[in-house]
Chain A
Amino acid sequence: MPPLSGRRVTALRIRVEHALRPWRRANPMARRLVLLGSVITLGFAFLAAFPSLVAPYGEAQYRHVVGTNEDPAAAEGRCGDEFECEDIPRRLSPDTGFPFGTTSGRLDVLSRVVWGSRVAFSIVVLSTVLAMGIGVPLGLISGYRGGKLDRVLVTLMDAIYVIPGLLLAIIIAFVLKAYFAPGLLSAAAAVGVVYIPQYYRVIRNHTLSVKQEPFVEAARSLGAKPNTIIGRYVLFNVVQSVPVIFTLNAADAVLTLAGLGFLGYGVPYPQAEWGLDVSRAISDVVSGFWWTAFWPGLAIMLLVTGLTLVGEGLNDIINPLLRVRGFRGRVPRRLEPAPAADTPVEVNLSPAPTQENP
Chain B
Amino acid sequence: MTSAVSDTASGRPPSNVPVLQVRDLSVAYGTPRGSLGAVDRISFDLYPGESLGVVGESGCGKSSMGRGLMQLLPAGAEVSGSATLAGRELVGASDQQLRRLRGEDIALVFQEPMTRLDPLMKVSAHFVEAIRAHRPGVDKDEARHMAREALAQMGIPRTRADNYPHEFSGGMRQRIMIALGIVLKPAVVIADEPTTALDVIVEAQILDLLDRLRADERVGLILITHNLGIVAETCDRVAVMYAGHIVETGSVEQVFNDPKHPYTRGLMASTISLETTALHSIEGYPPDLVDPPPGCRFHPRCPDAMYQCREKIPEHAEPNPGQHASCYLYPGSGQPDPEEPPGTLAAALHA
Contacts and interface: CB of A to CB of B under 8 A. Distances in A.
A328 B31 contact: yes
A341 B76 contact: no
B32 interface: yes
Given A341-B38, A342-B64, A333 B285 contact: yes
B32 A334 contact: no
Contacts of A336: 226
B58 A340 contact: yes
Contacts of A330: 288
B286 A342 contact: no
A166 B60 CA distance: 56
A280 B58 CA distance: 67
B341 interface: no
B111 interface: yes
B99 to A, nearest CB: 20
B149 interface: no
B270 A335 contact: yes
Interface in B1-53: 29-32, 36, 38
B345 interface: no
Interface residues of B, number: 31
B193 interface: yes
Nearest to A331: B59
Contacts of B288: 330-331
Interface in B216-255: 226
B289 interface: yes
A333 B301 CA distance: 14
A334 B31 contact: no
B314 interface: no
A342 B73 CA distance: 10
A341 B32 contact: no
Contact of A333 (B36, B59, B196): B59
A340 B38 contact: no
B58 A326 contact: no
Interface in B62-89: 62-64, 67, 74-77
Contact of B281 (A326, A327, A335, A340): A335
A330 to B, nearest CB: 8
B61 interface: yes
A7 interface: no
A333 B193 CA distance: 18
Contacts of A24: 32
B57 interface: yes
Interface string A318-348: 0000001111101111111011111000000
A177 interface: no
A25 interface: yes
Contact of A332 (B59, B77, B193, B196): B59
Contact of A326 (B30, B67, B192, B193): B30
B58 A338 contact: yes
A327 B31 contact: yes
Contacts of A339: 58
A179 B264 CA distance: 82
Contacts of A328: 29, 31, 36
Contact of B63 (A326, A333, A335, A342): A342
A342 B67 contact: yes
Contacts of B63: 340-342
B155 to A, nearest CB: 26
B58 A25 contact: no
A89 to B, nearest CB: 59
B108 to A, nearest CB: 12
Contacts of A340: 58, 63, 111, 192-193
A342 B57 CA distance: 13
Interface string B283-326: 00110110000000000000000000000000000000000000
B87 to A, nearest CB: 29
Interface of A: 24-25, 324-328, 330-336, 338-342
13 contacts: A325-B74, A326-B31, A327-B31, A331-B36, A332-B58, A333-B59, A334-B58, A335-B281, A336-B226, A338-B226, A340-B192, A341-B59, A341-B63
Smallest CB-CB A-B distances: 6 pairs? A326-B76, A331-B59, A325-B74, A338-B58, A338-B226, A341-B59
Given A326-B29, A333-B59, 11 more contacts: A24-B32, A327-B31, A330-B288, A331-B36, A331-B289, A332-B59, A339-B58, A341-B59, A341-B60, A341-B61, A341-B63
